[in-house]
A and B are shown apart, each in its own frame.
Chain A
Amino acid sequence: MAETHEGDSRRDFLIISTTAVGAVGAACVAWPFIDQMNPAADTLALASIEFDVSTVAEGQSVTLTWRGKPVFVRHRTPKEIEEAQEVPLDDLRDPQADSDRVIKPEYLVLVGVCTHLGCVPLGQKVSDPRGDYDGWFCPCHGSHYDSSGRIRRGPAPLNLAVPSYEYISDTVVRIG
């Protein structure tokens, strides 16, 4: 009886270890097939752009393409800067000071993708509606962003994202 028992547990061990090794093997084979769907090397290689902000006149906005997404560069007027700086942080859904969102206060650089469901907000063209806070307005589901790109009203949960960028000279920024 004891012998049978011993044989059983030996067999159990074999079954469990074989299954475990098989499962790990299957997971290892599955990974390449899952990971192939992530961004490919050439997609990642296109991940940074350079732009001379001095080409943007005061009050003007331009739209760049970065990683297939629009990036907004706005040369803000003193009034817009003042509005952005004076808002009490308690009024914000996603509290962040304007100074944390810009390197030079005149030039605001944002990813132009609504944080709700990914539409491109309006406000880049002179003829566009800018929402109630002098910034951007998303027509899809009605989110209003202020002159610092922060969410003020509507369904979007977060501020417009600030991409990682740096000034590589006085006027040229590298985004990404």
Chain B
Amino acid sequence: MAANFSNPVVRWIDHRLPIFTFLHHEAHEYPTPKNLSYWWNFGSLAGIALVIMIVTGITLAMHYTPHVDYAFSSVERIMRDVNFGWLIRYIHMNGASFFFIVVYIHIFRGLYYGSYKAPREILWMLGVVIMLLMMATAFMGYVLPWGQMSFWGATVITNLFSAIPLIGDPIVTWLWGGFSVDNPTLNRFFSLHFLLPFVIVGVVILHIVALHRFGSNNPLGIDVKGQKDTIPFHPYYTIKDAFGLGVFLIFFAAFVFFAPNYMGHPDNYIPANPLSTPAHIVPEWYFLPFYAILRAIPDKLGGVLFMFGSIAVLFVLPWLDRSPVRSGQFRPIFKIFFWILLVDVVFLTWLGGKPAEGTYVILARFATAYYFIHFLVVLPALSIFETPKPLPKSISEPVLGAGGGFAGATAAPREKV
């Protein structure tokens, strides 16, 4: 199993610290299903987005001042005076949005191809944990420039906790470190915004460990039957991921250089004023579906519970969808409902950006109801009533015909040795 390294220094180190063997095993010869489509690029893209955020974030922290009197001006100084500060900040700002774009695509990929099903439940749940950590990190990062949206976003979101009966208000005071969002709040948010990305790195490592236990799922959703179904990760998927990265960077650079504020709010270029609330408070776009759910419920505590519930339901998804077939390709009815869910979430995103009044509220209620019905009613029901299409015998069979089958091949699922 140990790779044969020609470089004597590498061999000497590897004998004492088998880091090269480990990398060879997990990133080079690592057998990957040979039928992965471009939808499988988004995991590695998410990892790269995380690295981009950490590098630009650490750089920005070298120039940023976490104090209510200086935060806004220090960000403006980064934009105007610090060498390439404008570039680094715009990469960080848009990087957050692109991180969410990539992760949301990654999640919907998993939803369509049943990547959350046995034996990948913990892999999936770790992914949901990463998403929650990303949301907390993004929220606290948005507070740091101390503009109007920063301040009032922080006020509204921390006030969500006041909905908790009895201990709600003490919790909010504790989160603020005062009687309103103020300097102590800004300081702790900066501290945590710096910490959490490294926590994300830790969970990402667990995510990859869980992934490599059984290997990637694939568009057919069937288990790898043997060596004929796999190719080594390097060079086949490293080159495919690199190509995907190039395409991703084209879109990313287009925003950074030509529309850096497209996904932001002009109000955040007004310094925070605790005595005046902007007329229309909206969170960043990636929170809008959850914000729509929050506002759809006419009760304060209820709204908060449904909002968190919309993510909590993902944790138990592997036990709600009991169908033994993973891939949506072989589930004719599931496939339809998948697209309805996607439309529903996009619709919620749109509604979240609209004022909470009149028809928008009614529509948001229907869309919220449908979101929960999909997970709590439709998926369990489909597991019982849907007749899936016949599955191919192996990954190779649909391509190579019957000859691609494995006469006498040991059909044991691949296990890491």
User: Interface residues, chain A, CB within 8 Å of chain B?
Assistant: 34, 37-40, 43, 47, 63, 65, 67-70, 113, 116-120, 138-142, 155, 157
The 5 tightest CB contacts between A and B, nearest first, are A67-B179, A68-B180, A119-B277, A118-B159, A117-B156
Least distance between A109 CB and chain B CB atoms (Å): 16
Task: Find out whether the CB atom of A65 lies under 8 angstroms from the CB atom of B155.
Answer: no
Q: Which of A40, A43, A119 contacts B281 (CB 8 A)?
A: A119
Task: Find out whether the CB atom of A69 lies under 8 angstroms from the CB atom of B177.
Answer: no
Q: B15-57: which have CB < 8 Å to A?
A: none
Q: Smallest CB-CB separation from A43: which chain B residue?
A: B178
Q: List 27 A-B contacts (CB under 8 A).
A: A39-B176, A39-B178, A39-B179, A40-B177, A43-B182, A67-B178, A67-B180, A68-B178, A68-B181, A68-B274, A69-B179, A69-B274, A70-B274, A70-B275, A117-B300, A118-B155, A118-B158, A118-B162, A119-B152, A119-B281, A120-B274, A120-B275, A139-B279, A141-B356, A142-B357, A155-B298, A157-B300
Given A119-B152, A140-B156, A155-B298, decide whether A38 and B174 contact each other with a Cβ distance below 8 A.
yes
Q: Is B193 an interface residue (CB 8 A)?
A: no
Q: Which of B174, B184, B275, B295 contacts A65 (CB 8 A)?
A: B275
Q: Smallest CB-CB separation from A140: which chain B residue?
A: B281
Q: Which of B162, B173, B277, B281 contacts A38 (CB 8 A)?
A: B173
Task: Find out whether the CB atom of B182 lies under 8 angstroms from the CB atom of A68.
Answer: yes
Least distance between B81 CB and chain A CB atoms (Å): 30
Q: Is B160 an interface residue (CB 8 A)?
A: yes
Q: Is B175 an interface residue (CB 8 A)?
A: yes
Q: B170-212: which have CB < 8 Å to A?
A: 173-182, 184, 188
Least distance between B278 CB and chain A CB atoms (Å): 8
Task: Find out whether the CB atom of B300 lies under 8 angstroms from the CB atom of A120.
Answer: no
Q: Smallest CB-CB separation from B295: which chain A residue?
A: A141
Q: Is B280 an interface residue (CB 8 A)?
A: yes
Complex contacts, A38 vs chain B, CB 8 Å:
173-174, 177
Task: Find out whether the CB atom of B277 lies under 8 angstroms from the CB atom of A43.
Answer: no
User: Size class of B's contact patch?
Assistant: 20 to 34
* Total A-B Cβ pairs within 8 A: 77
Complex contacts, A119 vs chain B, CB 8 Å:
152, 155-156, 277, 281
Distance in angstroms between the alpha carbons of A120 and B273 in the assembled complex: 11
Task: Find out whether the CB atom of A39 lies under 8 angstroms from the CB atom of B155.
Answer: no
Task: Find out whether the CB atom of B156 lies under 8 angstroms from the CB atom of A118.
Answer: yes
Q: Is B276 an interface residue (CB 8 A)?
A: yes
Task: Find out whether the CB atom of A37 lies under 8 angstroms from the CB atom of B174.
Answer: yes
Q: Smallest CB-CB separation from B188: which chain A residue?
A: A37
Max chain A Cβ within 10 angstroms of own Cβ: one of B152, B162, B180 = B180
Complex contacts, B300 vs chain A, CB 8 Å:
116-117, 155, 157
Task: Find out whether the CB atom of B179 lies under 8 angstroms from the CB atom of A140.
Answer: no
Distance in angstroms between the alpha carbons of A116 and B298 in the assembled complex: 11
Least distance between B354 CB and chain A CB atoms (Å): 12
Distance in angstroms between the alpha carbons of A34 and B298 in the assembled complex: 33
User: Interface residues, chain B, CB within 8 Å of chain A?
Assistant: 152, 155-156, 158-160, 162, 173-182, 184, 188, 274-277, 279-281, 295, 298, 300, 356-357
Complex contacts, B158 vs chain A, CB 8 Å:
118
Distance in angstroms between the alpha carbons of A40 and B187 in the assembled complex: 13
Complex contacts, B188 vs chain A, CB 8 Å:
37
Complex contacts, B184 vs chain A, CB 8 Å:
37, 39-40, 43
Given A39-B178, A43-B178, A119-B156, decide whether A65 and B274 contact each other with a Cβ distance below 8 A.
yes
Least distance between A164 CB and chain B CB atoms (Å): 13
Complex contacts, B173 vs chain A, CB 8 Å:
38-39
Complex contacts, B155 vs chain A, CB 8 Å:
117-119
Least distance between B115 CB and chain A CB atoms (Å): 36
Task: Find out whether the CB atom of B175 lies under 8 angstroms from the CB atom of A37.
Answer: yes
Complex contacts, B178 vs chain A, CB 8 Å:
39, 43, 67-68
Task: Find out whether the CB atom of B276 lies under 8 angstroms from the CB atom of A69.
Answer: no
Distance in angstroms between the alpha carbons of A2 and B152 in the assembled complex: 69
Least distance between A145 CB and chain B CB atoms (Å): 14
Q: Which of B162, B177, B181, B279 contacts A37 (CB 8 A)?
A: B177
Q: Smallest CB-CB separation from B160: which chain A residue?
A: A117
Least distance between B163 CB and chain A CB atoms (Å): 9
Further pairs besides A118-B162, A155-B356: 19, Cβ < 8 Å = A38-B173, A39-B173, A39-B184, A47-B179, A63-B275, A68-B181, A68-B182, A68-B274, A69-B179, A69-B180, A70-B275, A118-B159, A119-B152, A119-B281, A120-B275, A120-B276, A140-B156, A140-B277, A140-B281
Least distance between A63 CB and chain B CB atoms (Å): 6
Task: Find out whether the CB atom of B277 lies under 8 angstroms from the CB atom of A139.
Answer: yes
Distance in angstroms between the alpha carbons of A68 and B160 in the assembled complex: 19
Distance in angstroms between the alpha carbons of A120 and B280 in the assembled complex: 12
Least distance between A112 CB and chain B CB atoms (Å): 8
Complex contacts, A39 vs chain B, CB 8 Å:
173, 176-179, 184
Least distance between A55 CB and chain B CB atoms (Å): 18
Distance in angstroms between the alpha carbons of A63 and B275 in the assembled complex: 8
Complex contacts, B177 vs chain A, CB 8 Å:
37-40, 43
Complex contacts, A68 vs chain B, CB 8 Å:
178-182, 274
Distance in angstroms between the alpha carbons of A70 and B152 in the assembled complex: 14
